[in-house]
Structure 1
């Protein structure tokens, strides 16, 4: 068996891990001894873990943001539906965490949901890309851990 001759790929700046089929060939080709290779692989795992923590934080932020934008879009749709009627809209909104206020919106001459819709679409697209990035990153962690385990044998 020989180490994989496929070049490692990268995704959005995340370096791809090289699949190692034969440790001796890998060490010879990389010019590393076992300890240096293990040190390199451990450092790479730490880098992957840091990026994963960053991505997970971004994912949490987006998952919290999307429902807020949807609520705003619902309010705008309600305002558009009441446009031109004399009926006022009473809405409760959060001023600060746990502090709410009530507003009475009597006339909404212009309501434009385009920016909200754009933000919603961008947030959904960003979340999809982030999920794919996380999957790629997890694959690289698995490959690196396997290479590390093979080098220890």
Structure 2
């Protein structure tokens, strides 16, 4: 394969070269089979990255609404903070299990941070933290979607490259057979 400087997207996923001239990629040192194997390996790597990004997208698409829901609850608690009347709500214990809860707004909230860690924050601090996490998650989702689009383009390019090299090889083999047949006719005449 001829050495070309490959670029990459902003997150470091390398772009695939487009094979304009198959002769630049196939040589005595790198026969068609080796080039095709390299292209298939590249396609496999791109597809592996795509699977990981699809999983990441799914997690982010679930996480963003949860953060937004938590921000809305912090806003509600902030709003009810000056009121002396308690707030009654259904508290989610599990996906399908709820309990009645009486909430008395006292200006602070507890947030799960993960890894069995919960911390107390003022409503203002909680909103700042959650807004920051929401912005990070939305930015990460945007980057993930861009990367998925980029990967699909690279996979398509490599599949086209594979087809071009394969078709070129078929054509070269046919020309070789025709030349051998023509030279066999000449030697027998």
Q: CA deviation at 1:55?
A: 0.1
| In the alignment, structure 1 residue 132 sits paired with structure 2 residue 129 | no
For the residues of structure 2 that align with 1:78 and 1:45, how far apart are their CA atoms?
50
Kept after mapping to 1: 8 A contact 2:19/2:161: yes
Task: Please name the residue that 2:22 is paired with.
Answer: 23
TM-score for the superposition, normalised by structure 2: 0.73
For the residues of structure 2 that align with 1:5 and 1:61, how far apart are their CA atoms?
38
Kept after mapping to 1: 8 A contact 2:86/2:104: yes
TM-score for the superposition, normalised by structure 1: 0.89
Deviations 1:107-153 (A, max 9, x none): 32231311111111110010011111111111111110110000110
Out of 131, 138, 141, the residue aligned to residue 117 of structure 1 is 131
| In the alignment, structure 1 residue 55 sits paired with structure 2 residue 50 | no
Q: CA deviation at 1:4?
A: 9.5
Q: Which has the larger radius of gyration?
A: 2
For the residues of structure 2 that align with 1:129 and 1:31, how far apart are their CA atoms?
39
Kept after mapping to 1: 8 A contact 2:50/2:148: yes
Task: Please name the residue that 1:144 is paired with.
Answer: 158
Task: Please name the residue that 2:5 is paired with.
Answer: 7
In structure 1, the residue corresponding to 2:20 is in which secondary structure?
coil
* Count of matched residue positions in the alignment of Structure 1 and Structure 2: 150
Q: Which runs of 5+ in 2 are unaligned?
A: 109-122, 168-189
Deviations 1:74-98 (A, max 9, x none): 1111111111111211222321221
For the residues of structure 2 that align with 1:84 and 1:103, how far apart are their CA atoms?
19
Q: Which runs of 4+ in 1 moved over 3 A?
A: 3-6
